[in-house]
Structure 1
Amino acid sequence: MARSAIAPAEAAAAETARTTSLPTPAALRAELPISPLTAQRIAAQRETIRQILAGHDDRLLVICGPCSIHDPEAARDYAARLAALAAEVGDTLYLVMRVYVEKPRTTVGWKGLLHDPDMNEQGDLAKGLSLSRELMRDIADMGLPVATELLSPAATEYLADTLAWAAIGARTTESQTHRERMSDLDLPVGFKNATSGDIQPACDAMAAASAPQCYLGQDRTGAPAMIRSAGNPDTHLILRGGTYGPNCDREHVTDALARLAAAGWPERLIVDCSHANSAKTAARQPAVLADLVARRCAGEAGIAGVMLESHLVHGKQSIGGAMTYGQSVTDDCLGFAATADALREAAACLRAQPVGVSVSSEASASRPRASS
């Protein structure tokens, strides 16, 4: 009798200990709003990226920044430097900052600023969501386009309005849930090839996310909702190498473009200069970038963009103890000075080539789309 009488109370206490309420997406957006000027700028940035991916703007899209964000102040410092560099090379390169606040884990490990902002394995999603949104908003306010990997579908509504571009990573590109959620976003989304290197899952993801979907999600109040999406017409492929090595060489790129054409997609893609394409060695990224730029200058027009993992300080470090300011705590990253040198060299190479298409203005009107 006594045992059964207290069981419900124990169960309630256990449930309280297990769960923590979070602000709704609407509440966090209201607390940390995007200004009308920044919202207009983000819409124009999305349109510029669409034009580059479509081949109507001949600049090279460059998604560049830390493998992961663990120190918001160092990220703001990096953003200020990247914004200055963007003004310098903006005639040939369109720079977008990686602001990755979630990290996929094959088994266990630190999952990023959004999940564990204090890096103490305790987790604090309320703090992480707030810090992540505030950081993305602040960088967007600088005029720099913001990119991230959307790892947790439930986090998307908290962050999407700050983004100019998003990626779905190699581990989640086969996920139906991610494909459905991306189908309802008003921004370009790149799907990476699978960890094996196979590009078919990413091509399938592009097809699924570009189609109308009906799926179980949440509205901005956080309530469960049936969502009908119109489909995202701005999905594209990212080559990041895989288990069997890099796929950034001419043969792999040509094959990928042929497969895109056969499926009715534009023959345009992004190549990740890091991960397996540089054997996860940051110092190799400039050589990969230089090769891609030289090939593009020689006529490989399908290379629409590149990705780089870069931070203030070269290398990577472990979490804990006295930590180096501006150095990655996840993958090895290229230091900012070397990054700037590599991008200046890329810009110089591209300037030497005849311009094939006109550069679109971010002041031009965007085509009507649903709001993110």
Structure 2
Amino acid sequence: MQTNGTIDRNVKDYQTLMSPRQLLTDLPRTDAMTQAVQYGRTSIRNIMDGTDSRKFIIVGPCSIHDTELAHDYGARLKEVSDAVSDRLVVIVRSYFEKPRTNLGWKGLIYDPHLNGAGDIKDGLYISRRILMDNLEIGLPCATEYLETFTPQYNSDLVSWAAIGARTTESPQHRQLASGLSMPVGFKNSTQGDISVAVNAILSANGEHSFLGIDGYGAPSVVKTTGNPYTHIVIRGSNTGSNYDAQSVQDVQAMLMEAEVPPNVVIDCSHGNSEKDYSKQPIVFEEGLKQIHDGNDRIVGIMLESNINAGSQKIPSDLTGFDRSTLEYGVSITDSCIDLETTASLLKAAHKSLA
């Protein structure tokens, strides 16, 4: 087709992707997986409605880069989850899309082999299998959505979804959240702006019509009814934290003024830990204290956790990178607490919420 240089000047190539329906056919959900998804979604909704006295804990790696590691982590976490399930609903972080401030690895869906090749088709298959593995053992999953049609490929396996600090202000992501079938948490902005997340909640609660794809991959007008289970995730900012009791109450006051339920999830990482993973337990324990002191609208807490603590660097250009040089069980994005610390915190929370 003659374009005379008016389109695709900076496009290298187009690669046809399988439809969402094809992926769901190739990797179908079992009844056990469906039950685990619904258990997670129903539990979170009931906690937010106040009909379930438990709290939900979203815990797991900052990002997943290794299938074996994801399976290992999930199996170990499930043992702890079972031990605390009468007071805590444990949802495993299964994050496959990572926002980048400039350049860098964008997550397992986009570069599953850590070689810079961008094998997105493989990434969609691999990430779906990871979700299925967790659900098969009865562990509900959480993820973050960056692309507006990724949910067509995996949202049937997700019990809780996040819209990140960099995308909470995006109209496309607010519209997306309005049609998602699970509870969705909007994070405050990286600058700490709470109103951005409050406005996102108000927007996602309403009906929308926007451009997307259907299960067959066809361009579509998506019409939604609105999602009544959107809420705020406070994650601090570039300049400080916002998890202390007064800050949490101020956030809840803003939500009530906007006439939405004052449900809050506290993110123990990012600005709230001053990007020091070893401070996550401090934030976690303060959140528990506020719940113990009567703030029952703190409905959940989020931890970044891996098998081993800390993080490791990978090159920004992954061409030719040898992934066998990576240390097992250590994050390649944000630093995480280790699984031993995680288990201790969950058991302490279980005791605190008696």
Give the paired residue count.
Answer: 346
Aligned to 1:318, the other structure's residue is in SS state coil
TM-superposed CA distance for 1:11, in Å, is 12
Which position in structure 1 is the counterpart of 2:318? Answer: none
The answer to whether the 8 A contact 1:54-1:268 is kept is no
Q: Deviations over 1:51-72 (max 9, x none)?
A: 1122221112100000000001
1:233-244 to structure 2, matched below 5 A, reads 233-244=228-239
What amino acid sits opposite 1:336 in the alignment?
L
1 CA distance for matches of 2:207 and 2:223?
7
Aligned to 1:314, the other structure's residue is in SS state coil
The answer to whether the 8 A contact 1:99-1:148 is kept is yes
Match 1:347 to one of 336, 345, 350: 350
| Comparing 124-133 and 40-49, the one that deviates more | 40-49
What amino acid sits opposite 1:83 in the alignment?
K
2 CA distance for matches of 1:316 and 1:232?
35
What amino acid sits opposite 2:352 in the alignment?
C
Match 2:23 to one of 28, 50, 69: 28
Structure 2 residues not aligned, in runs of 5+? 315-320
The answer to whether the 8 A contact 2:36-2:139 is kept is no
2 CA distance for matches of 1:329 and 1:12?
37
Which position in structure 2 is the counterpart of 1:72? Answer: 67
The answer to whether the 8 A contact 1:53-1:269 is kept is no
Say whether residues 1:92 and 2:87 are aligned partners. Answer: yes
1 CA distance for matches of 2:25 and 2:148?
20
**TM-score, normalised on structure 2?**
0.94
1 CA distance for matches of 2:8 and 2:229?
47
What amino acid sits opposite 1:243 in the alignment?
N
Aligned to 1:183, the other structure's residue is in SS state helix
The answer to whether the 8 A contact 2:39-2:140 is kept is no
TM-superposed CA distance for 1:347, in Å, is 1.3
TM-superposed CA distance for 1:129, in Å, is 0.6
Match 2:104 to one of 103, 109, 129: 109
TM-superposed CA distance for 1:42, in Å, is 1.3
Q: Deviations over 1:187-244 (max 9, x none)?
A: 1000000111011111111111111111111111100011111111110011000122
2 CA distance for matches of 1:182 and 1:53?
17
Say whether residues 1:174 and 2:144 are aligned partners. Answer: no
Which position in structure 2 is the counterpart of 1:191? Answer: 186
Which position in structure 2 is the counterpart of 1:289? Answer: 284
The answer to whether the 8 A contact 1:62-1:306 is kept is yes
Bigger-Rg structure (1/2): 1
Which position in structure 2 is the counterpart of 1:313? Answer: 308
The answer to whether the 8 A contact 1:164-1:188 is kept is yes
Moved over 3 A (4+): 10-17
Give the % identical residues. Answer: 41
The answer to whether the 8 A contact 2:188-2:235 is kept is yes
| Comparing 11-20 and 303-312, the one that deviates more | 11-20
Match 1:251 to one of 212, 228, 246: 246
What amino acid sits opposite 1:317 in the alignment?
Q
Say whether residues 1:268 and 2:263 are aligned partners. Answer: yes
1:34-45 to structure 2, matched below 5 A, reads 34-45=29-40
1 CA distance for matches of 2:68 and 2:152?
24
TM-superposed CA distance for 1:104, in Å, is 0.2
Aligned to 1:305, the other structure's residue is in SS state strand
Say whether residues 1:59 and 2:64 are aligned partners. Answer: no
Structure 1 residues not aligned, in runs of 5+? 1-5, 352-372
Which position in structure 1 is the counterpart of 2:337? Answer: 334
Which position in structure 2 is the counterpart of 1:228? Answer: 223
Aligned to 1:327, the other structure's residue is in SS state coil
1 CA distance for matches of 2:9 and 2:239?
46
Q: CA RMSD in A?
A: 2.1
Q: Deviations over 1:296-340 (max 9, x none)?
A: 111122211100000000000022551111100000100000111
Aligned to 2:108, the other structure's residue is in SS state coil
Aligned to 1:128, the other structure's residue is in SS state helix
